[in-house]
Amino acid sequence: MNHQMLMAFFAATQVLFAFAFGSCVGSLINVLVYRMPLGLSVVSPPSRCPKCDHLLSWRENIPVFGWLMLRGKCRFCKNPISPEYPIVEAIVGLVFVGFYTLWFLVPDRNADWLGFDWSLIKPEWAMNGFARTWPVFVALLMMVSALIAMTIIDARTFTIPLALAWTPTLVGFLAHPLWAAWVQIRGKPWRHVAEGDWWAIATPGVSGWPILCASLGAIAGLLISNALLGLGLLRRSFADYDEWETKALAEAGIDPDAQTKPDAAPPPDAPTQPDGRARTVGVVLACTAGCAVAGAWMMPRLGLSGVVGALAGVLAGVPLAGVILRAIAGTPPPPTDPDEGSPAEMWIQYPHARREVSKELLFLAPCLALAVVGWLIGQRLGQPWGQHPVTFALVASKPIPLWLSVLGGVCMGYLAGGGIVWAIRIFGTLGFGKEAMGLGDVHLLAAVGACVGWIDAVLAFFVAPFIALYIVLVQTCWTGNGRRAMPYGPYLAVATLVVVLGKAAFEAGLGRMFGAPGSLNFP
């Protein structure tokens, strides 16, 4: 066996392990998605058939392949098992494979394939190799896994379990500074990043004492506010919403329990319409494949990558398929209001939104006050200031240790991600009298900032509306009605992945927007 075959075998082994690990995480996501909205424990009881309570063996619990071996039915009662389980497991496994391949298997430079340089997707910190960056990579995968779980739950229930956002936040707060301390103790700084100033996320730098102390002060203020909330000295916002919703539904003659029940299964004699499903799948595949080929052919003639054209074609093919299917089906009956009696409908009608977000302003007061105090303390800690011998910029005489600077970067990301959504929530609610965004969205983007930094979190916030517009376009083309209320968490999650994978495009685009001589350089 020559060297190239040995390296290919080693790479294939890594890819298979990444898929196996990712599919196991996908299996856990299936458990979280099913149990957390129902308030059930995610640990016990063990996985079992929901109809006959048969406990699944380890063979039946194998991700993807367990469902295939069972042929999608319980081995005892023959109750159908939803194909969503293997689909989620396979998707998460492929996501893990994609990230690992792009981050650690693709060459650092000039990885041209299909007319696209795939090395542009790889972040600079990943060029240090898996062995030197694995905790940071684990934080990234933890964030992605949590985003997938939050997306599925939010799309179904219009709620985000806060534990799903707190978990990646905790991992970000631990992985980044602890690994930075280990790197500093070993005395082997990362290559391709500026020593002491940049990490895998944006940091205050070696001289950013005011920003560091302000961030730490703001986090201390949040901890104090949560302590006051736990002691009952601060009142929790929207605490009376459930009581109001139950009363409002009762006055409208709607059974409150019916709002929490899952969608009912079709009656046994309901037609499954396999021909309609096959037609839908065929039209979607034909439209996306045709548009992808057209985009891949057209874009190189415009000086762009064929891969970019194929991706744009796939995005264009989905709404086109909806238009064609509606034309084939003929004129549908007049659409009913899809939001009538939905969680979003009730959420928007809550009449005391302004009063409740005023409580959140009180909650944030210690955070803002201690941030100002921290900024003033940081200015004194950095004194006396001097000039950098090369750039002549003002620098502090006391450089910040790498681990502390990285901790400041995690705090900055958490505060910027959560703060920008919270600001829209508060001011939007005060302005319109209706709850503008959910607290789950605040925690979601705060977790993103803690794991990948404030730059990615802020970019994701501004990309999310374009994702929402595309979804509305798809809804309009498929159903003729794009007014259906949708939770915002899935848009934030998709936007985060777009930013993480398309960082090079954002660097180039923002560089041109701000008149920079070249692309910007984000961590």
pTM of the shown model: 0.88
d(C-alpha 180, C-alpha 101), whole Å: 24
Who's near 288: CB < 8 A, 6+ residues apart?
A: 313, 314, 317, 318, 321
The three-state secondary structure class of 517 is coil
Report, as an integer, the average pLDDT of 410-438: 93
pLDDT of residue 111 exceeding 60, the answer is yes
Q: What sections of 231-263 are H helices per DSSP?
A: 241-251
pLDDT, position 255: 63
**Rg, C-alpha atoms of the chain:** 25
The enclosing H or E element of 396 equals strand 394-396
What per-residue confidence (pLDDT) applies to 89?
A: 95
Residue 211 has pLDDT above 90, yes or no: yes
Count Cβ atoms within 10 A of the Cβ of residue 199 and give its class: 0-12 exposed, 13-18 middle, 19 or more buried.
buried
Please tell me the distance from the alpha carbon of residue 494 to that of residue 144, in angstroms, as a whole number: 10
Q: Could you give the CA distance from residue 304 to residue 116 in angstroms, rounded to a whole number?
A: 9
CA distance 12 to 20: 12
Confidence at residue 134, expressed as pLDDT on a 0 to 100 scale = 96
Domain boundaries, the chain: 3-105, 147-249+343-501
Given a contact cutoff of 8 angstroms between Cβ atoms, the answer to whether 149 and 32 are in contact is yes
Residue 96, pLDDT above cutoff 70: yes
pLDDT of residue 330: 67
Give Cα 310 distance to the centre of its chain.
Answer: 24
Phi then psi dihedrals of residue 177, to 5 deg: -70, -35
Give the count of beta carbons closer than 10 Å to the beta carbon of residue 14. 16
Mean pLDDT over each residue of the chain, to the nearest integer: 85
Q: Pick 401 or 382 by higher pLDDT.
A: 401
Given this model, what pLDDT does residue 26 score? Answer: 95
Please give the angle made by the CA atoms of 122, 125 and 127, to the nearest 5 degrees. 65
Helix (H) or strand (E) holding 32: helix 3-35
Amino acid 520 reads L
Residue 317 has pLDDT above 80, yes or no: yes
Q: 266 pLDDT band (50/70/90 cuts)?
A: very low
Q: What is the mean pLDDT of residues 51-74?
A: 82
Q: What Å distances lie between residue 187 and 183, 207, 327, 376, 402, CA to CA?
A: 6, 20, 66, 32, 11
Would you place residue 68 in the very low, low, confident or very high pLDDT band (cuts 50, 70, 90)? confident
Q: What is the pLDDT of residue 72?
A: 83
Task: Give CA–CA dist 67/87, Å, rounded.
Answer: 10
Q: How far apart are CA 65 and CA 93, in angstroms?
A: 13
Please tell me the predicted confidence (pLDDT) of residue 496.
97
Cα(300)–Cα(456) distance, rounded to whole angstroms? 29
Helix (H) or strand (E) holding 116: strand 116-117
Statement: residue 375 has pLDDT above 50? yes
Residue 257 has a pLDDT of 58
- 482-511 pLDDT, tens per residue? 656 678 999 999 999 999 999 988 998 888
Lowest mean pLDDT among 23-27, 324-328, 427-431: 324-328
Picking from 459, 473, 462, 466, the residue whose alpha carbon sits closest to that of residue 501 is 459
CA distance 415 to 49: 42
What one-character DSSP code corresponds to residue 433?
S
> 3-class SS at 73?
strand
How many residues make up the chain in this entry?
Answer: 523
Q: How many CB atoms neighbour CB 361 within 10 A?
A: 12
Q: Tell me how far apart the alpha carbons of residues 288 and 319 are, in angstroms, rounded to a whole number.
A: 9
Select, from the ranges 105-119, 242-256, 333-347, the one with the highest average predicted confidence (pLDDT): 105-119
Average pLDDT over residues 380-403: 67
State whether residue 112 is helix, strand or coil.
Answer: strand
DSSP strand pairing (385-387 vs 394-396): antiparallel
The yes-or-no verdict on residue 212 having pLDDT over 90 is yes
Measured CA to CA in angstroms, residue 205 lies from 130, 199, 209, 379 at distances of 24, 9, 8, 14
pLDDT at 396: 57
Q: What is the pLDDT of residues 394-413, one digit of tens each?
A: 555 678 899 999 999 999 99
State the DSSP H helix or E strand holding residue 386, giving kind and residue range, or none if neither: strand 385-387
Q: How confident is the model at residue 1 (pLDDT cuts 50, 70, 90)?
A: low
155-168 residue pLDDT tens: 888 889 999 999 99
Categorize the per-residue pLDDT at 126 as very low, low, confident or very high, splitting at 50, 70 and 90.
very high
Q: Assign 267 a pLDDT band (cuts: 50, 70, 90).
A: very low
Structure tokens at 472: 């509305």
Q: What percent of the chain has pLDDT over 90?
A: 49
Average of pLDDT values for 513-522?
A: 81
Under 8 Å between Cβ of 325 and 478: yes
Q: Quickly state the pLDDT bin for 343 (edges 50, 70, 90).
A: low
Angle 396-218-203 from CA coordinates, rounded to 5°: 45
| Residue partners of 295: CB distance under 8 A and separation at least 6 | 306, 308, 309, 310, 311, 312, 313, 314, 316
pLDDT at 147 over 90: yes
CB 419 within 8 A of CB 221: no
Amino acid at 415: L
How far is Cα 361 from Cα 366, in angstroms, rounded to an integer?
Answer: 10
User: What average pLDDT does the segment 307-331 reach?
Assistant: 86
pLDDT of residue 393: 54
CB atoms within 10 A of CB 230: 10
Question: Residue 67 and residue 88: Cα distance in Å, rounded?
Answer: 12
In this prediction, residue 423 carries a pLDDT of 95
At 446 the pLDDT is: 97
More reliable by pLDDT, 118 or 523: 118
Q: What was the pLDDT predicted at 389?
A: 52
User: In this structure, are residues 123 and 200 in contact, taking their beta carbons and an 8 Å threshold?
Assistant: yes
